[in-house]
């Protein structure tokens, strides 16, 4: 049983043993947290061990795993449960902070059933980490993501790429005001991530190259050169954003299909409507 101080290095929290310079990382090396009773002066505003404070820990090697838990001779714990382990405070992302803000702002407008669900969740295991805030936001129906619109569209693309749909969206945005197509989000704005899909191509760079190539092959203009591709990490998921600019030239998909954005959907124009669109476009050039 040794004294370990809570330190922070490169945005991560560690337990540091001053005497033998041993560093133990939380939470990978630890059990899941139960509530721990500990003196108030050791707690930070969120109830976790404050930076610079120490805790007595047992550190054991069990096979290839390092198990860390506080000495229950020093701290109270609930009998009949295994000794609780303290989670170091998780860094709070800007996204999580904004979600909390949105929930606090909208609390009074939630239906009683939603308030009931939130109250039940908070009464249970809410530990104020980013993951807990995201789960709470899902219960409350809050999302950081805007609704689909003239300039915003989502495709889930968890395991595979729906190429015809992606091409039609890109064509529609390019023939209208431009827009952002995000892969890894379902229609109801749930974040599903496209990391499984990206891993099939090996890396984000290779995935970007593949995307650009198939847009080049599927459209008639140089739009593929002007699409900006960026990746975003949200919780454990990866989103891929394609920023599509408005195109000065009419973009056709597969040499003959014309799509335009109409509200939150991509519409294919055929026959007279297609001719009118092209005529009007040329007239104003």
Partner 1 sequence: MSKRLSNYSFDELLLMPKKQLEELLQRAIDTILRTLDPDGEIVKELKENR
Binding region for partner 1 (CB under 8 A): 45-46, 100-101, 103-105, 107-108, 112-113, 115-120, 122-123, 126, 136
Q: What's the closest the beta carbon of residue 142 comes to partner 1, in angstroms?
A: 12
Q: What's the closest the beta carbon of residue 140 comes to partner 1, in angstroms?
A: 10
Q: What's the closest the beta carbon of residue 40 comes to partner 1, in angstroms?
A: 13
Strand partners, 47: none
Closest CA to 194 of 244, 234, 134, 149: 234
Distance of CA 211 to the CA centre of its chain: 21
HSE-up (13 A, CA, CB side) for residue 259: 26
Contact by Cβ (8 Å): 181, 155: yes
> Of 118 and 229, which CB lies nearer to partner 1 in the complex structure?
118
> Of 115 and 270, which CB lies nearer to partner 1 in the complex structure?
115
Distance of CA 194 to the CA centre of its chain: 11
Q: Which residues fall within 8 angstroms of residue 46, CB to CB, at 6 or more apart?
A: 89, 128
Q: What's the closest the beta carbon of residue 283 comes to partner 1, in angstroms?
A: 46
Q: What's the closest the beta carbon of residue 117 comes to partner 1, in angstroms?
A: 8
Q: What's the closest the beta carbon of residue 13 comes to partner 1, in angstroms?
A: 20
> Of 16 and 110, which CB lies nearer to partner 1 in the complex structure?
110
> Of 119 and 187, which CB lies nearer to partner 1 in the complex structure?
119
Q: What's the closest the beta carbon of residue 11 comes to partner 1, in angstroms?
A: 20
Which DSSP string corresponds to 206-261?
Answer: HHHHHHHHHHHHHBSSTHHHH-EEEEEEETTEEEEEEEEPPPSSPPEETTTEEEEE
Whether the CA torsion 77, 59, 16, 235 is positive or negative: it is negative
In whole angstroms, what is the distance from residue 282 CA to residue 267 CA? 20
HSE-up (13 A, CA, CB side) for residue 197: 23
> Of 24 and 132, which CB lies nearer to partner 1 in the complex structure?
132
- Computed on alpha carbons and rounded to an integer, the radius of gyration of the chain in Å comes to 26
> Of 39 and 63, which CB lies nearer to partner 1 in the complex structure?
39
> Of 71 and 93, which CB lies nearer to partner 1 in the complex structure?
93
């Amino acid at each position: 049983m040794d004294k370990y101080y809570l330190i922070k290095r490169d945005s991560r929290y560690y337990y540091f043993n001053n005497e033998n310079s041993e560093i133990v990382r939380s939470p990978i090396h630890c059990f899941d947290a139960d509530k721990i009773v500990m003196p108030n002066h050791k707690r930070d505003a969120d109830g976790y061990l404050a930076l610079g404070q120490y805790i007595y820990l047992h550190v054991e090697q069990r096979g290839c795993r390092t198990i860390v838990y506080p000495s229950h001779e020093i701290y109270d714990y609930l009998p009949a449960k295994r000794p609780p382990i303290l989670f170091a405070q998780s860094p709070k992302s800007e996204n999580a902070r904004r979600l909390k803000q949105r929930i606090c702002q909208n609390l009074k407008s939630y239906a009683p059933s939603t308030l009931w669900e939130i109250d039940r969740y908070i009464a249970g295991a809410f530990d104020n980490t980013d993951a807990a805030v995201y789960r709470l936001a899902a219960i409350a129906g809050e999302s950081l993501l805007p609704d689909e619109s003239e300039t915003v569209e989502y495709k889930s693309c968890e395991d595979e790429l729906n190429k015809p749909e992606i091409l039609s969206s890109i064509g529609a945005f390019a023939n209208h005001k431009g827009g952002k197509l995000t892969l890894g989000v379902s229609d109801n704005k749930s974040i599903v991530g496209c990391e499984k899909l990206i891993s099939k191509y090996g890396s984000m760079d290779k995935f970007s190259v593949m995307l650009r190539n198939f847009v080049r092959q599927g459209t008639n203009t140089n739009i593929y050169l002007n699409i900006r591709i960026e990746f975003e990490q949200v919780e454990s998921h990866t989103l891929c954003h394609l920023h599509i600019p408005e195109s000065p030239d009419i973009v056709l998909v597969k040499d003959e299909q014309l799509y335009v954005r109409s509200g939150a959907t991509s519409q294919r124009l055929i026959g007279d409507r297609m001719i009118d669109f092209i005529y009007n476009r040329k007239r104003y050039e």
